Amino acid sequence: MPFSLALAIRRLIILNSGTISKENFYNRALVVQVVTEIVRRGDVLCPACHGFFKVHGSYERHLKDELGGRHDGWVAQVHCQTCNKYPSLAPDFVMPYKHYMGAVIEAVLIASEENDQGSSFCPADDSTMQRWVNQFRERGARAAGWLLSILFMVYGQFISALDQQNMSLLKRLAYLTQQFPVSETGVIIGRVNIILTRHGRGFL
């Protein structure tokens, strides 16, 4: 799946997992209740038109953990009452179009950046892990550019290239997310996706 602005506007917004934690991810009614409160407060607006959302429903989503165990949970879907889009509001441990939890994928990316061959901790096959790494190299570089652009255009903040010297791509993204009013809990790629999807700029 390509890094897609149009797809993100239409399909997905990432939420901090403090609002839909792994514990209540399994509880459909609680997921809908939490998202209903989020949209009632106007905490998340449509990235396409800045319109208000109304909860539309929910759908089942499964994830695999670091042992390959399957977890079945729920993701809420909302409706923009202005532009008629129907995005999903997913927690940040759910990676778009990936079956594994974000923490598992990020651990593989860290091992790759550190040239650690010990990624045998992950039950995914080698070709799947290599695909994660290859996609991250491409999408991560674009994401860094988008984060810099959002910081400048929305927050009036300029980040010097000197501040990012000698950083791996993942550490660079971590540094950039620290410049935003986003909780530093959770995985780095989840925090990046929170910012990108809320500004209609795709996802990792």
156 lies in a domain? yes
- Does a structural domain hold residue 78? yes
In-domain check, residue 122: yes
pLDDT in tens, 132-170: 999 999 999 999 999 999 999 999 999 988 888 889 999
Paired strand residues for 14 = 90
Instruction: Report if residue 203 sits inside a domain.
Output: no
DSSP of 110-166, one letter per residue?
HHHHTT---GGGS-S-HHHHHHHHHHHHHHHHHHHHHHHHHHHHHH-----GGGGTT
DSSP code of 16? -
Domain assignment of residue 114, given as a range? 5-198
204 domain-assigned: no
pLDDT given at position 119: 57
| 8 Å CB contact between 109 and 143 | no
Task: Provide the whole-model pTM.
Answer: 0.90
Asked if the structure places residue 14 within a domain, the reply is yes
pLDDT at 76 over 70: yes
- The runs of H, that is alpha helices, within the chain are 5-11, 28-41, 102-113, 126-155, 169-177, 188-198
